[in-house]
């Protein structure tokens, strides 16, 4: 199987490529039939001709390209919708009917706390393009609406507020909570990658959205990562302060028995200065 990963130099892309390379070299005991040959990595450093060549030979495409902090409003559509259109046209030109995964966002819900967001509108337009192309060509589109993704290597002061707080606490910087009661929907990077590997062998999870609520549903049109966490900014900051308070004590060990706290602690530790 040849796999194309667009946006391969981003946070999710880097982690996915690393996981794919591990599977290629060592196999996957939980998915013995998953065999990986070529891994095509495409990002901003590549020429558009590279993408064209990769589309000819890909057996599965992970489209992770996205821009949620463009210089101008127009770039939202260019990067989040325009690239998807180019990718799908290239696949169609080669009569390539491989499955294509789209990394969309909760902001595409366009309701509740995710309402009236330009980035979300661009992602929603891309979703419609994928579903429409799949209907027209009889192909498989796996559209994932990701919430905030956190984990080791996530960039602070970027798309992840959790990464920013973990970085600040690890480096003794002020942590501005803004609105402590702000709700956060979170997915840990390792759980996300595990879901994407499963998608390669038809083990993706499906859902539907009822306004802002995700509902697991095998007949749903969207895909999702089944391990998700709901919390608030204030709760995240409180947990991080307790990591500092109980460092080196049995209390910390007890806290880390909780899966979410364990993952948050791993993220926090990844930002600690080397001298610590």
CA 199 remoteness from chain centre: 14
pLDDT band at 211 (very low <50, low <70, confident <90, very high): confident
pLDDT band at 112 (very low <50, low <70, confident <90, very high): low
Helices (H) and strands (E) in the chain, counts: 10, 11
Query: Residue 11 falls within a domain, yes or no?
Result: yes
Q: Is a pLDDT exceeding 60 seen at residue 70?
A: no
> How many Å apart are CA 52 and CA 56, to the nearest integer?
7
Q: What is the mean pLDDT of residues 29-34?
A: 95
Q: What is the span of the domain harbouring residue 50?
A: 1-146
Split into its structural domains, the chain has a count of: 1
Query: Residue 22 falls within a domain, yes or no?
Result: yes
Query: Residue 195 falls within a domain, yes or no?
Result: no
Q: Is the alpha carbon torsion for 239, 144, 65, 106 positive or negative? A: negative
Where b means 16+ CB within 10 Å and e means fewer, 58-94 reads: bebbbbbbbbbebeeeeebbebbbbbbeebbebbeee
Query: Residue 46 falls within a domain, yes or no?
Result: yes
Task: Give pLDDT tens digits for 146-168.
Answer: 999 999 989 898 878 999 999 99
Confidence (pLDDT) at 80: 75
Query: Residue 241 falls within a domain, yes or no?
Result: no
CA 18 remoteness from chain centre: 14
CATH number for the domain that contains residue 39: 3.40.50.720
Q: How many percent of the chain have pLDDT more than 90? A: 76
Report yes or no: 152 and 145 within 8 Å, Cβ to Cβ. no
pLDDT band at 178 (very low <50, low <70, confident <90, very high): confident
Confidence (pLDDT) at 213: 87
Query: Residue 253 falls within a domain, yes or no?
Result: no
Query: Residue 167 falls within a domain, yes or no?
Result: no
Query: Residue 18 falls within a domain, yes or no?
Result: yes
Q: What is the mean pLDDT of residues 196-222?
A: 95
């Amino acid at each position: 199987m040849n796999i194309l990963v667009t946006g391969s130099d981003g946070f999710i892309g880097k982690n996915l490529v690393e996981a794919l390379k591990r599977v290629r070299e060592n196999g996957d005991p939980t998915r013995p039939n998953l065999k990986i040959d070529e891994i095509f990595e495409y990002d901003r450093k590549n020429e558009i001709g590279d993408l064209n060549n990769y589309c000819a030979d890909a057996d599965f495409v992970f489209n992770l390209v996205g821009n949620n902090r463009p210089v101008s409003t127009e770039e939202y559509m260019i990067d989040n919708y325009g690239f998807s259109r180019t990718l799908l046209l290239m696949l169609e030109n080669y009569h390539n009917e491989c499955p294509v995964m789209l990394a969309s966002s909760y902001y595409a819900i366009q309701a509740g706390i995710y309402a009236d967001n330009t980035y979300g509108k661009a992602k929603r337009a891309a979703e419609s393009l994928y579903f429409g192309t799949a209907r027209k060509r009889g192909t498989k589109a796996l559209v994932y609406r990701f919430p905030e993704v956190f984990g080791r290597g996530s960039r602070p002061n970027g798309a992840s507020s959790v990464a920013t707080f973990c970085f600040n606490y690890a480096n003794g910087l002020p942590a501005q909570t803004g609105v402590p009661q702000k709700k956060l929907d979170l997915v840990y990077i390792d759980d996300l990658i595990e879901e994407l590997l499963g998608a390669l062998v038809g083990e993706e999870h499906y859902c539907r959205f009822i306004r802002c609520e995700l509902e697991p549903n095998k007949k749903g049109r969207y895909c999702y990562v089944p391990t998700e966490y709901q919390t608030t900014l204030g709760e995240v900051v409180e947990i991080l302060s307790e990591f500092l308070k109980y460092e080196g004590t049995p209390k910390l060990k007890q806290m880390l028995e909780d899966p979410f706290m364990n993952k948050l602690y791993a993220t926090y530790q990844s930002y600690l200065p080397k001298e610590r």
